[in-house]
Chains A and B, each alone.
Chain A
Amino acid sequence: MSETTTGRVPVTITVNGQPCTREIEPRLLLVEFLRRELGLTGTHIGCDTSFCGACTVILDGDAVKSCTLLAVQADGSEVITVEGLEGEEGLHPLQQAFSEHHGLQCGYCTPGMLMSSLALLAENPDPGIEEIRKRLGGNVCRCTGYQNIIRAVQAAARALREE
Chain B
Amino acid sequence: MEMRFDGEFRIPMPRQEVFELLSDPEKFAPLLPNFHGLERRDERRSNLRVKVGIGKIRAVASTELILEEATAPDTIRYLGKGNVLQGAYQMNAAFHLLEDGDGTLVRWEGVSQLSGRILSIAGGGLRGYAEKEISSVINGLQQALSPEARAAREARPARPAGGWLQRLLQFLFGRREEAAAPVAAEGTAVEPPPLAPHPEELVPIREEAKQRISRVLEVPRGMPAGGRKEDQRLVRGKGLYVDDNQPCGLLHMALVRSPHAHARILGVDTRAAETMPGVVCVLTGEEVAGMTQPFLQIGPEPSANIRDYCLAVEKVLYQGDPVAAVVAETIEQAVDAAQRVEVDYEPLPAVVRCEEALKDEVLLHEHVGTNLTWQGVYEYGDVERAFEEAAHVVRIDHLRFHRFSSTPLETNAVVATWDQRDRLDFIGNTAMTVPLTMIATALGVRMDHIRLRTHDIGGSFGNKINNYPYMTLAALASRKAGGRPVKWVETRSEYMQAGGHGSERDYFDTEVALDENGVITALRSRHVDDCGAYPRYEPLGCVIWSQVLPASYKLRNVRIDFSQVVTNKGPCAPNRGYSRLPHMWFMERVIDICAHELGIEADEMRLRNYIEEFPYTTPNGCVYDSGDLPAMLARAKELIGWDEWKRRQAEARAEGRLIGVGIGTTLDSGTNNFAQSRIINPFLPFSGNSQMANVKLDLDGSVSVSVGSFPQGQGHETTSAQVVAEVLGISPDCIDVKPGFDTERNTHTGTCGTYASQFAVTGLTAVHGAATRLKEQMQRLAAHALEAREEELEFGMGEQGPEVRVAGSDRSINYWALSNLANYNTATLPEELREITLNATYKYTPPFEVPDTGRKYGNLTLTYALQLHIAVVEVDPETCHVRILDYAIVDDCGKVINHMIVAGQVHGATAHGLGAALLETMPYDEAGNVLSGSFTDYAPITINNMPLLKNVNMETPSPFTYSGAKGMGEGGGAPLHTICAALQDALRDRGVVIGNSHNSPMALYDYIRQGGGVKVEVEHRQSA
Report A's interface with B, CB cutoff 8 A. 2-7, 9, 25, 27, 35-36, 39-52, 54, 58, 60-62, 72, 75-78, 80-93, 95-100, 102, 104-111, 114, 118-119, 121-123, 129, 132-133, 136-150, 160, 163
Indicate if the CB atoms of A2 and B333 lie closer than 8 Å.
Answer: yes
Is B456 part of the contact surface with A, judged by Cβ < 8 Å?
yes
Q: Tell me whether A109 and B409 are in contact in the complex, defined as CB-CB below 8 angstroms, given that A27-B332, A42-B238 are known contacts.
A: yes
Partner of B220, one of A61, A89, A139: A89
Is B230 part of the contact surface with A, judged by Cβ < 8 Å?
yes
Stretch from B29-37, B438-446, B936-944, B1006-1014 contacting the other chain: B936-944
Question: What total of chain B residues lie within 8 Å of the partner, measured CB to CB?
Answer: 89
Within 8 A of A (CB), among B880-906: 900-901, 903-904
Which chain B residue has the least Cβ–Cβ distance from A104? B234
Is B129 part of the contact surface with A, judged by Cβ < 8 Å?
no
Which chain B residue has the least Cβ–Cβ distance from A134? B944
Residues of A within 8 A of B715 (CB): 105
Q: Tell me whether A46 and B409 are in contact in the complex, defined as CB-CB below 8 angstroms, given that A100-B227, A102-B901 are known contacts.
A: yes
Residues of A within 8 A of B195 (CB): 9, 72, 75
Indicate if the CB atoms of B935 and A47 lie closer than 8 Å.
Answer: yes
Is B459 part of the contact surface with A, judged by Cβ < 8 Å?
yes
- C-alpha gap A111/B240 in the complex (Å): 13
- C-alpha gap A141/B409 in the complex (Å): 7
List the 10 closest pairs (A to B, CB-CB), nearest first.
Answer: A42-B237, A61-B209, A2-B277, A106-B713, A107-B234, A108-B458, A99-B227, A145-B911, A105-B713, A82-B237
CB distance from A91 to the nearest CB of B (A): 6
- C-alpha gap A27/B459 in the complex (Å): 29
CB distance from A78 to the nearest CB of B (A): 7
Interface centre among B198, B231, B332, B408 (most CB of A within 10 A): B231
- C-alpha gap A154/B228 in the complex (Å): 19
Q: Tell me whether A102 and B235 are in contact in the complex, defined as CB-CB below 8 angstroms, given that A4-B277, A137-B943 are known contacts.
A: no
Is B167 part of the contact surface with A, judged by Cβ < 8 Å?
no
Indicate if the CB atoms of A48 and B458 lie closer than 8 Å.
Answer: no
Q: What are 7 A-B contacts defined by CB distance under 8 Å?
A: A47-B935, A78-B210, A100-B224, A111-B237, A122-B215, A142-B459, A146-B943
Indicate if the CB atoms of B236 and A51 lie closer than 8 Å.
Answer: no
Indicate if the CB atoms of B943 and A136 lie closer than 8 Å.
Answer: yes
Is B208 part of the contact surface with A, judged by Cβ < 8 Å?
yes
Is B910 part of the contact surface with A, judged by Cβ < 8 Å?
yes
Residues of A within 8 A of B237 (CB): 40-43, 81-83, 85, 110-111
CB distance from A153 to the nearest CB of B (A): 10
Is B57 part of the contact surface with A, judged by Cβ < 8 Å?
no
- C-alpha gap A37/B475 in the complex (Å): 26
Indicate if the CB atoms of A142 and B239 lie closer than 8 Å.
Answer: no
CB distance from A19 to the nearest CB of B (A): 14
CB distance from A6 to the nearest CB of B (A): 5
Which chain B residue has the least Cβ–Cβ distance from A36? B246
- C-alpha gap A76/B406 in the complex (Å): 39
Indicate if the CB atoms of A107 and B230 lie closer than 8 Å.
Answer: yes
Indicate if the CB atoms of B459 and A143 lie closer than 8 Å.
Answer: yes
Known: A109-B409, A119-B213. 5 other contacts (CB 8 A): A7-B187, A61-B213, A90-B223, A96-B235, A118-B217
Indicate if the CB atoms of A99 and B224 lie closer than 8 Å.
Answer: yes
Indicate if the CB atoms of B216 and A121 lie closer than 8 Å.
Answer: yes
Indicate if the CB atoms of B235 and A145 lie closer than 8 Å.
Answer: no
Residues of A within 8 A of B377 (CB): none
Indicate if the CB atoms of B492 and A48 lie closer than 8 Å.
Answer: yes
Indicate if the CB atoms of B277 and A90 lie closer than 8 Å.
Answer: no
- C-alpha gap A7/B230 in the complex (Å): 42
Is B342 part of the contact surface with A, judged by Cβ < 8 Å?
no
Partner of B198, one of A54, A76, A102: A76
Indicate if the CB atoms of A140 and B221 lie closer than 8 Å.
Answer: no
Residues of A within 8 A of B713 (CB): 104-107, 143
